[in-house]
Structure 1
Amino acid sequence: MSILENGTWVLVADGQKALILENLTDGEDPHLDVTDEETKENPQTQDWAANRRGRVQQSANVGSHAYSDTDWHEFEKDRFAKDLADILYKKAHAGEFDRIVLVASPQVLGVLRDELHDEVKSKIVGEIDKTLTNHPVNEIEEIVKSELKAA
């Protein structure tokens, strides 16, 4: 039996975009069809900053230090991954899929692993830590097929 058998879902995600694809054929010659797409606008960190960083005066030493800015861009990437985990849980709980392969950037894959519900985790049949969201579907098919064979 192939990991990418008929009906297997493939989630392809990064910090701003996710595609849910379903394999309509077999694992030897997969044909992935986009069934859902999620996107989130996520400006770069410098675009989030409205003010100068805060400063604090040292009482024991002369001088001042700047507070670190929150990296809002990275924060939003993590939030998007958590939102994806919720979406996958709802779809798994509704019985929409039995098998799923996760294909995501290493950061997003890490957050997903932490956030996914056990019901979704039990349906994971493969993971690929690559960013493929900007590839055409036919390239995603070939890369996923070759990565799963190599695993």
Structure 2
Amino acid sequence: MTEITNGTHIVIANSEKVLYLVNTTDAEDPYFEVMDKETQDNPSDIEQSANRPGRMADSQGNKSAFQDTDWHELAKERFAEDIADQLYDLAHHGKIDRLVLVAGPKVLGNIREALHKVVQDKIVAEVPKNLAGHPLNEIEDILAAELKAA
């Protein structure tokens, strides 16, 4: 069982939004304060693509298309890297002792992949759920229940 003790930092993220929270009370009745929040403007891939995919003829005259870069997906991965960089900066400067990461499984994996060891050592729990659109009081209740059950 992991508790969200006083001073525990919580990161709630999806592929376009991140909330940096801190618990200002005890583990029995957590109360999260928003320390920072960021959103990423990430239009669809079609809106970001400048050209149609290139085409190439093979030796038999058949044409096939090259796979174009998925700019939307690339921006999601870069956003996860930005979150990891922000967490490194906070951990490196001693501003995080305990950290709970909360994101959908794919986003959580992208963030985890980009995390520095200094940040990894601060993680006390990971919750593979997308809670980025929930109000703070619901997030508090959901996380308290999730972590008690773990």
TM-score by length of 1: 0.95
Q: Which ranges of structure 2 fall in alignment gaps of 5 or more residues?
A: none
Does structure 2 retain, via aligned residues, the 8 Å contact 1:2–1:26?
A: no
Is the counterpart of residue 32 in structure 1 residue 32 in structure 2?
yes
**Residue in 2 aligned with 1:74?**
73
Does structure 1 retain, via aligned residues, the 8 Å contact 2:21–2:32?
A: yes
Does structure 2 retain, via aligned residues, the 8 Å contact 1:2–1:28?
A: no
**Residue in 1 aligned with 2:19?**
19
**Residue in 1 aligned with 2:52?**
52
Q: What is the alpha-carbon distance in structure 1 between the residues aligned to residue 2 and residue 65 of structure 2?
A: 55
Q: What is the alpha-carbon distance in structure 2 between the residues aligned to residue 72 and residue 132 of structure 1?
A: 24
Q: What is the alpha-carbon distance in structure 2 between the residues aligned to residue 54 and residue 121 of structure 1?
A: 41
Matches for 1:36-115 after TM superposition, within 5 Å = 36-59=36-59, 61-115=60-114
SS at match of 2:6: coil
Does structure 2 retain, via aligned residues, the 8 Å contact 1:2–1:27?
A: no
Q: What is the alpha-carbon distance in structure 2 between the residues aligned to residue 96 and residue 127 of structure 1?
A: 19
Q: What is the alpha-carbon distance in structure 2 between the residues aligned to residue 2 and residue 71 of structure 1?
A: 38
Structure 1 segments of 4+ aligned residues over 4 angstroms from their partners: none
Q: What is the alpha-carbon distance in structure 2 between the residues aligned to residue 62 and residue 142 of structure 1?
A: 62
Q: How many residues align?
A: 150
How many angstroms does 1:2 deviate by? 5.2
Does structure 2 retain, via aligned residues, the 8 Å contact 1:20–1:35?
A: yes
Is the counterpart of residue 134 in structure 1 residue 123 in structure 2?
no
Q: Which ranges of structure 1 fall in alignment gaps of 5 or more residues?
A: none
Q: What is the alpha-carbon distance in structure 1 between the residues aligned to residue 134 and residue 22 of structure 2?
A: 16
Q: Per-residue displacement from partner, 1:119-143 (whole Å, max 9, x unpaired)?
A: 1111100000111111111111111
Counterpart residue type for residue 143 of structure 1: I
**Residue in 2 aligned with 1:147?**
146
Identity value in percent: 51
Is the counterpart of residue 121 in structure 1 residue 120 in structure 2?
yes
How many angstroms does 1:149 deviate by? 1.1
Please provide the CA RMSD for this pair.
Answer: 1.2
Residue 2 to residue 131, structure 1, CA distance change in 2 (3 Å): closer
